[in-house]
Amino acid sequence: MHRSLVTLVIFALLGIGCSAAHEPRDVATGIYDLRVRGEVDACSPSRATGEMGLVGIVAGSGVVNVGVPDVTSLAMSRVSLAATAGFHTEAITAIEGCEGASVRRAWTLLETTSSGFGLAMTEEWTGLAGCAAARDRMPAAPESDCHAERVLEYRLMEMCEAPCSVRVSAGVVSCTCD
């Protein structure tokens, strides 16, 4: 009986550990320094990597709202990762002027710590053959169909604790306490 109880406790603790590892309990609302690391890149030109600058992150109630590089423009965009979806989201964007061409993007929350977190980002470009309009409308569009995987590494620079919030004004990220 004692052995069964020990086994049950071990399995319960393993379950808690697994749950905690997938919960963004360590992701804080604040300002993060973003660095992008390439993992797999079959695209030409290659996908952007390196230092991307400061981004604002908002976390709470089982959702992490993340600033990510946007392949469809030169600006950053935002994606929301919810616990109910396993902290994963996907988007398919049609490429204007290129019938049947699109880019499928997916983001998945990776490890989280009190000093930052990682996000896996995948891009799958299809239907680009013979479509020069893609690069006219999207400066980062590759020359042909391809697949790329990157890891977005967010390092916490400044936590924005309530009642403060993250604000972006004229491209500058700050913690504002009204």
Pick 1 or 171 by higher pLDDT: 171
Supply angle C-alpha 7, 12, 13, rounded to 5: 100
Bridge partner residues of 78 (DSSP): 67
What the block records as the tokens of 111 is: 């490890």
4: pLDDT strictly greater than 80: no
What the block records as the tokens of 162 is: 């309530």
Closest among 106, 105, 82 to 95, alpha carbons compared: 105
What are 21-26's contacts with CB under 8 Å, separation 24+? 21/111, 22/86, 22/87, 22/109, 23/83, 24/59, 24/64, 24/81, 24/83, 24/87, 24/109, 24/112, 24/117, 25/112, 26/112, 26/113, 26/114, 26/117
174: pLDDT strictly greater than 90: no
**Is the pTM of the predicted complex or chain greater than 0.85?**
no
Mean model confidence pLDDT for the chain: 82
